[in-house]
């Protein structure tokens, strides 16, 4: 519970289905899933703006938008995101763009005294060699993974921004840190995608062309946790209605697999029967990144979509939309 500056005591509970909810990044992987979830749950006033309609890096435009729309609830799912290649190639962009997006949206929401605000970060905020599984208390206890440290620093700044608003203004803002997400509307482009959509595209194209082999980066030994984005959206609504606290909440499944295992499963799902080679001259990234989800479980939520089921659903979506996806 949060003691608000106007003397009221905030207690999490069921959100008004007629409340105006602004989802920043509503066309992205996470944002689009949150919109689907909210609409399925009966929310009648869900607001979104494309980047062409509203550049969240433009501070004046963001403030003008908030003054016009005056949302009751904000979910900040907008971010510049990418995989190892993109993060390591464009660190300035990932730092600058994300800091500006976060600062502008948070400051504009604060001006309007938006009471319920959910900031979404990433599990890359934790130290590269954090004890596994990674608990929320591991934040700022060690060195970050250098291939995505700029993005991680921006997301850490977002968490601290939420905490600062709680301390200075008494608003019950919260933040959640998802593990590796996948599902509909993911980025499947060769240069900008994360590992799972990259593997789906690679294996599906190899299966379609009859290629004899596929080559993946690294050794295949790192362990990763994967959460279907529809589960993430369900967790976001649950946290908005059941959680109030300054500490970020990990959102994941509590289970992980090796990159080699996930590659084998994807090959099976898409029907690729060739060989898989591993280019060990390429980086592996963090050796393991499994989130502890005790805090989330204590709040009353656990993941429901199994990995195989989620992959089959995602591959079907990818094949249906492949012609329109980013190249």
Q: Which residues are annotated as a binding site for substrate?
A: 202, 217, 224, 284
Out of 22, 126, 151, 182, the active site residue is 151
User: Catalytic: 151?
Assistant: yes
Burial 147-157 (b: 16+ CB within 10 A, else e): bbbbbbbbbbb
The annotation places the binding site at 25-31, 120-123, 155, 178-181, 194, 202, 217, 224, 284
C-alpha to C-alpha distance for 306 and 313, rounded to whole angstroms: 11
The annotation places the binding site for NADP(+) at 25-31, 120-123, 155, 178-181, 194
C-alpha to C-alpha distance for 58 and 61, rounded to whole angstroms: 5
- Written as one string, the DSSP assignment of 209-259 is HT-SEEEEES-S--EE-EEEHHHHHHHHHHHHHH---SS-EEES-S--EEH
Do 11 and 65 form a contact (C-beta atoms < 8 A)?
no
**Who contacts 5 (Cβ-Cβ below 8 Å, separation ≥6)?**
169, 170
Closest by alpha carbon to 152, among 161, 139, 133, 134? 139
30's tokens:
């996470």
Closest by alpha carbon to 158, among 144, 177, 135? 177
Q: Is the dihedral of CA 29, 30, 33, 39 positive or negative?
A: negative
Find the DSSP H helices in the chain.
29-40, 59-69, 84-89, 91-111, 149-169, 195-209, 229-242, 259-270, 294-298, 307-321
In degrees rounded to 5, what are phi and psi of residue 40?
-65, -30
Distances (CA, A) of 314 to 32, 179, 181: 14, 17, 11
Residue corresponding to tokens 């999490």: 12
C-alpha to C-alpha distance for 112 and 89, rounded to whole angstroms: 37
Closest by alpha carbon to 302, among 245, 222, 242? 242
Which residues are part of the catalytic machinery?
A: 151
């Amino acid at each position: 519970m949060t003691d608000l500056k106007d003397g009221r005591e905030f207690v999490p509970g069921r959100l008004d289905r007629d409340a105006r909810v602004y989802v920043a990044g509503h066309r992205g992987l996470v944002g689009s899933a949150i919109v689907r979830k909210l609409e399925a749950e009966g929310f009648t006033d869900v607001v979104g703006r494309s980047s062409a309609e509203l550049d969240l890096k433009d501070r004046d435009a963001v403030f003008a938008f908030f003054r016009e729309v005056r949302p009751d609830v904000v979910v900040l799912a907008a971010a510049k995101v990418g995989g190892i290649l993109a993060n390591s190639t464009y660190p300035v962009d990932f730092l600058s763009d994300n800091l500006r997006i976060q600062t502008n949206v948070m400051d504009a929401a604060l001006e309007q005294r938006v009471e319920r605000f959910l900031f979404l970060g990433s599990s890359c905020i934790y130290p590269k060699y954090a004890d596994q599984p990674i608990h929320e208390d591991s934040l700022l206890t060690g060195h970050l993974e250098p291939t995505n440290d700029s993005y991680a620093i921006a997301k850490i700044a977002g968490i601290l921004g939420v905490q600062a608003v709680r301390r200075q203004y008494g608003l019950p803002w919260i933040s959640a840190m998802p593990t590796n997400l996948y599902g509909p509307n993911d980025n499947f482009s060769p240069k900008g995608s994360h590992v799972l959509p990259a593997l789906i595209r690679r294996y599906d194209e190899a299966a379609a062309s009859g290629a004899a082999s596929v080559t993946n980066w690294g050794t295949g030994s790192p362990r990763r946790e994967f959460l279907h984005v529809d589960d993430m959206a369900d967790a976001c609504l649950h946290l908005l209605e059941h959680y109030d606290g300054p500490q970020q909440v990990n959102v994941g499944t509590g289970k992980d697999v090796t990159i080699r295992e996930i590659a084998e499963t994807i090959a099976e799902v898409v029907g690729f029967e060739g060989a898989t080679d591993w280019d060990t001259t390429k980086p592996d990234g963090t050796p393991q990144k499994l989130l502890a989800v005790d805090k989330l479980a204590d709040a009353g939520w656990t993941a429901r979509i199994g990995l195989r089921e989620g992959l089959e659903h995602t591959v079907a979506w990818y094949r249906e939309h492949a012609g329109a996806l980013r190249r």
